[in-house]
Every structure is written in structure tokens, then in C-alpha cells.
Amino acid sequence: MMTLKVNGREHQVDADPDTPLLYVLRDDIKLNAAKFGCGLGQCGSCAVIVDGTAVLSCVTPMILLEGKQVTTLEGLGSVSEPAPIQRAFIEEQAAQCGYCIPGMMMRAQALLLKNSKPTDAEIRAALEQHLCRCGTHMRILRAVRRAARLMETADAAATTNRSAQ
Amino acid sequence: MSMTRSSRLIASGIAVMLIVGGAMAFAIVWRPVIPAIDPPTPHAFDAALIKRGRDLAAIGNCNECHTVRGGKNFAGGLPVPTPFGTIYSSNITPDAETGIGQWSEAAFRRAMHDGVNRKGEHLYPTFPYDHFTHVSDEDDRALYAFLMTRQPVHAPARENQIFFPLNQRPVIAGWKLLFLRRDTYQPDAAKSAEWNRGAYLVAGLAHCGACHTPRNKLGAERVNAQFAGGDVDNWLAYALNDRSHAPVPWDADALYMYLRSGWHPDHGTARGPMAQVVSNLSSVPDSDVRAIAIYMADISGAPTPDRKREGEAALAQARSPSQASQTDLAGATIYAGACASCHETSRPLPYGGVNLALSTAVSSPDPRNLANVVLSGVSAVEGERSPIMPGFADSMNDTQMAALLNYLRARFSKQPAWTGVEKTVADARRAVTVYLQTSAGPRSAPADPTQRDKP
């Protein structure tokens, strides 16, 4: 048994230490936002935030997570109360099939936590390793820029605080 | 009386020595300005010559040093760390003010041959004229035609940060006196034309030794340790001679495939500064890459029976992986969860990972390259199919990464354990960040250059 902190809650997990975090999130804790895409760390759809930094959960074994805080998309906001990054993606209609979007959002969230006003080049560099086969890249870029603006406004402060690590 | 005469003799002797010494020093140091020209128009050059120059510039890997991330091609500005300080690459676009637009062909040839710029200043040997001096006048002409027909870019040179006294350019003349051998390549009649072509390219334009040969305290390549492995930007440029640590010995066919495609199933994928080299070599005439491979395979010598046996053992281990040892549980666990899904499947290269029993990085004398690649991964080449590996800098701390590296060493190589791995990882974390921020080059090689420009 090991303890895993996800979205501010502690979970007792019965998993081998070499189990990828993604499997534990989806199969044991039933948090399904992080997606299984390639399982090889090549597509980005499994990205979650660990201690403020985006990591690929499909190639992050549990042994690396002792004492760390994991945040998944569920931890940022909900359907009724979306976080700024989620609101921005909805308002820009940045998803088509949507499979890559949770990973994109977590990467963008990690970027905005460190850099509240990223340049276009910085956004592109951060999202470079995330694949989207539908081709909504331009909308995704717009959504990240919109999220940066939303996070600056007062009404977004509540959700921003919750997402802060 | 005799005192006066002898002191007069001494005085005149000293005077003569000073004059002769001064004249000699002057002759060694002083180089004339070559008059400025108006930048030639692109029409002044023959198209076929420009094309040949393009291929030669790719073999010379000019863009790797003369282009900085986010900057224009050949406009310079890349910081090159050396033991003597940081040297910034120069602008070699035909911009009249900040590039080489005012350079005549003679000035260009002198820079290549003698390491002297148009104004007569000695250039630092970071510009590898100790190799380029062997380039033929004909090839210099083609390179000149290529560079003078590039887009001129206004980009002033950045100030070098070199320690005294090496910041005094005349000192470089002394270095040249000691280390610059200005001989043109003499073909070896006993060898094939292909071999000789390879030898000419390797010694000259391709300047392989600039990275793969260790340097002495004064920064010159050690002539008696050719291709014994060198340092470049916190990467280890592997030994290419009989001291190679490749688990499977290289031969001409394997070298050819690796240099042409950027990967080989028995050796893995080019990365670090070598990624740019193979990316360039994937675009030059096939015969030149084959010539380089044939020459390099020949001079590194046929493997001994022992080496051959070890190579076969490594291939066997890769085909039927051994059980993980239990000596390092943390390392084994990290490997199983983070690495094995790519590196221990039947998925072939370049999209699958090389079995680490075949990896030179794991068998190498120090863990720098392995640390670099585990930290930063191998990024895809924009617009091309290419190998990818995620970096683990954000998911592992130095202790965890050291545990992983020590485990890989113990399980996949026949070499003794590394020491100081955690410090190497910490150093690599700093250095790799700088390298990735400044180097414009691709971080991996294209998997199939023939697919370029095809959807």
C-alpha cells in the first residue's frame, strides 16, 4: 500500500511501485481526465501536474511520487465551476474529439503557473510535445492566451487559488 | 677600453636580436588587410557551383555553430563554451556590415586556410581551420559561392568572453605556430578512390576530429590520440578508434546507415550535437557519406576476436533480455515503469527505443550522455517523421535519476560501475538547459529523409 496525494486528497493505493501513475489514476482512483494515448510518453494526452510541473503520467512510475502532490484536470475545476483554463478552452471551442485536450490543458496550466504572460513562442514551445490529430491547434493557442487573460481577472481568482499547488 | 668594446658588442648583439626577433614576431603575427569588395550579386555565381557549395556546407556542418536558436541561418551568435571562455560564432551571411559581404574569395580562402579574417585578425581555432586548411581551393570556391548567395542578415558579432592573455588575438599566431599544419590532403595511392575521398572529407571539411579527438591543455587536438573521444558542450563525443565503447563493433555498413539516417538498429539514435551532423549528412550526395563510412571503418580497424564475441553477446542479450537484477530496487523499478515500455519491446527503431544492451551511452566511460538524454529526451524534428523520447527532467530528481543510471550500467553493460553519477546528473541538468536554449539544431535526426516535403 502506498499513499498518493491527488487533488488535495490522500488515497491509499495498492499498486506496485513500477506501475505508471496513469493506470492508478484511471483504474484505482477512477479519475479519467488523463488519457491513455500512446503509453510511450510521445503524445502528451496523459499529462498531469506534479508539484507544479507537467509530467507524462504514462511513463511516471509510482515510486517517483512519494511525498508529491498530483493535480489532474478534475482538480482544477468542474463542469458547473470550470477553472479559467477550462473556461478558456470551452469559450474558444478548442476541442474537436477532445482526447488530447486534458493533457493540453494541464501543460498550459503548468506553464501559466510559472509564467502568467507567456509569448506565443513560449506557448508553442510548451505544447510542442502534445499531439492533436484533429488539427485544432490554432484554437488551442487562442484558448491558452484567453486563459492567461482570465487568470488575471478578479472573478477567476477563486478557481486560480484552488489550482495553485 | 676592452670593457667599452665588449659592452658595445653586447649592445649591438642585443639590438640585432631585437630587430630579428621583432621581424620574426611581426612575420608570424601580422597579416595584411584584404581590400573590401562590394558584395557580389547572386547572379555572379554559377548555379551548379552554388549547389555543390550547399552540399559541402552540409558536410562541414556550418549551420550548427553559425546559427543560434530563433536566429536566422548562418547569422552567428551561438555561444561556444571552451576552457578559455565563451566564444560566439560569427555572422557568415553576405551582409556587408556585419557578415562576410565585403570578403573577396581570396579573403574567404585565407580564413579557411589560415584562420585569419579579412581585416587580418587571427581567428580563434573554435573555427576549426586546423581542419579546413586541408580543404581544396576548388571546394572553398564552391563554399564561397554558396555563402555569398544566402540571405544577408544584419547581426553584429557578440563580444567574446575570453580570459587574458588569450583575449589578445596575436597570441593565436603562437598557437598556430605550434599546432596548425597547413598541408593539403595527399591521396594514398594504395587505397581506393572512395577511401581517399573519405579521408579528405574527414580530415578537412567534416572536421570529425574537432569533437571526437581529445584536446591538450592549449585546446589543440592531440595528434597521438586521434579519435580517442573528446568533449563537446557537456557531451562526450565517443571514441571512434579501437577504444570505442560501442557494445557492437561498428563496420562500414553500420556507419553508413547511421550517418545517412541518424540511427542504426544495433547502435541507437544520434542525439546531442551529433543529431545536427546526421541531419546535414542526410541531405548530401550518397557517395560522400559512404566514403566517410568506409574511411572511418578502415582506420578504426577490424575488431579483435574478443570484441566480436562481446558484440555478439550484446546482440544476444538484446534479443532475449535477462531478468532484472535485484541489486538496485529503485533503479530497476524506475526502469520498468519509465523506460521498458519503449526500450524493451519488439518495436523496431527508430520509433522504438534501442535495447540498452546495445547503447554506447550505457557502456561509455562516463554517464554524461546518458544523463543528458534521460533529462531532455529526444524531440521530434519539425515537419518530419523522427524518433521521439520524452525527457524526465521534471519527473525525477537527481537521486532518482542516479539510481536509474547506476542500474542501467549494472544491468546492460559489461563495464565497471560509474562513480559520482549524482553530481554528473546535477551538472547535466544545468548544461543541457543551456544547450537546448541556444542550439538551433534538431535534437534528433529525421527517420527517413526521403520523406521530406511529402505529406
CATH of the domain at A7: 3.10.20.30
Where chain A has pLDDT below 70, the residues are: 154-165
Domain presence at residue A79: no
Distance, CA of B405 to chain centre: 25
Instruction: State the pLDDT at residue A160.
Output: 46
Residue A59 domain flag: yes
How much is the ipTM here? Answer: 0.90
- Residue A18 belongs to some domain of the structure: yes
Give the residue from chain B lying closest to A21, CA to CA: B337
Is A100 in the same domain as A70?
Answer: no
Q: Which of A74, A103, A131 is the last residue of a domain?
A: A74
Task: Give the nearest partner residue to B334 out of A53, A56, A61, using CB atoms.
Answer: A61
A158 and A89 in one domain? Answer: yes
Residues of chain B with pLDDT under 70: 1-3, 321-327, 433-455
Answer yes or no: are the C-beta atoms of B39 and B102 closer than 8 Å. yes
Nearest to B50, CA basis, from B152, B153, B151, B149: B149
Is residue A60 located within the same domain as residue A92? no
Q: B2 is written with which cell numbers?
A: 676592452
Looking at the structure, do residues A60 and A93 belong to the same domain, yes or no?
no
The predicted pLDDT at position B455 comes to: 40
A46 at the B interface (CB within 8 A)?
no
Distance in angstroms (rounded) separating the CA atoms of residues B117 and B98 = 13
* pLDDT for the residue numbered B48: 97
Residue entry with cell 550547399: B54
Report yes or no on A112 lying in a domain.
yes
Diameter of chain A by CA atoms? Answer: 44
**Yes or no, beta carbons of B394 and A61 under 8 Å apart:** no
User: Is A34 a member of any domain?
Assistant: yes
- Nearest-angstrom CA–CA distance, A72 and A48: 5
**Rounded to the nearest 5°, which phi and psi values hold at A63?**
-60, -25
Contacts of B348 in chain A (CB under 8 A): none
Whether residue B342 and residue A19 make contact (CB cut-off 8 A), yes or no, is: no
Boundary residue ending a domain (A13, A42, A74): A74
Q: Are residues A65 and A93 in the same domain?
A: no
pLDDT, position B354: 94
Q: How far is Cα B106 from Cα B87, in angstroms, rounded to an integer?
A: 25
pLDDT at B438: 63
Angle between helices A84-91 and A101-114 (to 10 degrees): 130
pLDDT of B450: 54
Domain with A125, as residue range(s), is 84-163
- Tell me if the bond preceding B187 is cis, omega within 30° of 0: no
Q: Looking at the structure, do residues A35 and A94 belong to the same domain, yes or no?
A: no
Can you list the alpha helix ranges (DSSP code H) found in A5-155?
Answer: 21-23, 84-91, 101-114, 120-127, 137-152
Decide if A52 touches B, using CB distance below 8 A: no
Residue A25 in any domain: the answer is: yes
Domains identified in chain B and CATH numbers: 42-179 (1.10.760), 241-451 (1.10.760.10)
B380 has a chain A CB within 8 A of its CB: yes
Pairs across A and B, CB distance < 8 A: 60
- B374-425 per-position pLDDT tens digit: 999 988 877 777 888 999 999 999 999 999 999 999 999 999 999 999 999 9
* Residue A7 and residue A44 in one domain: yes
Chain A nearest-CA residue for B393: A55
Mark whether A157 and A123 lie in a shared domain. yes
Same domain, A106 and A130: yes
Cα–Cα distances (Å) from B168 to B55, B86, B161, B238, in that order, read 35, 14, 11, 33
The pTM of this model reads 0.90
The pLDDT value recorded for residue A41 is 95
Q: How far apart are the first and last CA of chain A?
A: 25
**Are A22 and A64 members of one domain?**
yes
Contact B390 A63 (CB under 8 A): no
- A68 and A102 belong to one structural domain: no
A125 CB near a chain B CB, below 8 Å?
Answer: no
Residue A124 identity: R
Tell me if A100 is assigned to some domain.
yes
Answer yes or no: do A64 and A108 share one domain.
no
Mark which residues 56-95 of A lie under 8 Å from B by CB: 56, 58-64
Is B394 part of the contact surface with chain A (CB cutoff 8 Å)? yes
Number of structural domains found in chain A: 2
Q: Does B324 touch chain A (CB under 8 A)?
A: no
Q: Is B334 in CB contact (< 8 Å) with chain A? A: yes
Residue A69 in any domain: the answer is: yes
* Of residues B70, B334, B390, nearest to A56 (C-beta): B390
With 0-12 CB in 10 A as exposed, 13-18 as middle and 19+ as buried, what is B366?
middle
Residue type, B424: T
pLDDT digits (tens, 9 = 90+) for B408-417: 999 999 999 9
Boundary-marking domain end, from A47, A74, A101: A74
Indicate which CATH number applies to the domain containing A121: 1.10.150.120
B436 CB within 8 Å of a chain A CB: no
CA–CA separation, A129 and A47 (whole Å): 11
